[in-house]
Amino acid sequence: MVKTLFKNENGSIHYGRNAPEGFIAATKEDVATAIANLGVMKLWRCTVCNDMHIGMEPPEECPTCGSIDAYVEINEQELKMVIGL
Ligand SMILES: [Zn+2]
């Protein structure tokens, strides 16, 4: 299944087959806006399924693979490469 982009009202972004609770469809422009306005948000990647997340904290349970505490912090270059920005 194809991974797509999601966002929530706090400006967090998720890239995966499934979205965390409360997220709606997003665009690459939303991702660019989030990266330009990170503030206290960080970039994260699921080490099991490679879902991407932008937010203060990663999802405790990955919405795509269901793994617990599987996210690690990544840099902007890695996130952009995977999402295709
Ligand atoms: Zn995952």
- The pLDDT score that the predictor gives to residue 27 is 97
Q: Is the pTM of this model over 0.85?
A: yes
CA–centroid distance, 55 to ligand 1, in Å, is 15
Burial 52-72 (b: 16+ CB within 10 A, else e): bbbbeebbeebbbbebeebbe
List of the chain residues with pLDDT < 70: none
CA–centroid distance, 48 to ligand 1, in Å, is 5
CA–centroid distance, 20 to ligand 1, in Å, is 11
CA–centroid distance, 53 to ligand 1, in Å, is 10
- The pLDDT score that the predictor gives to residue 25 is 98
In terms of DSSP H, where are the helices of the chain? 28-36, 76-83
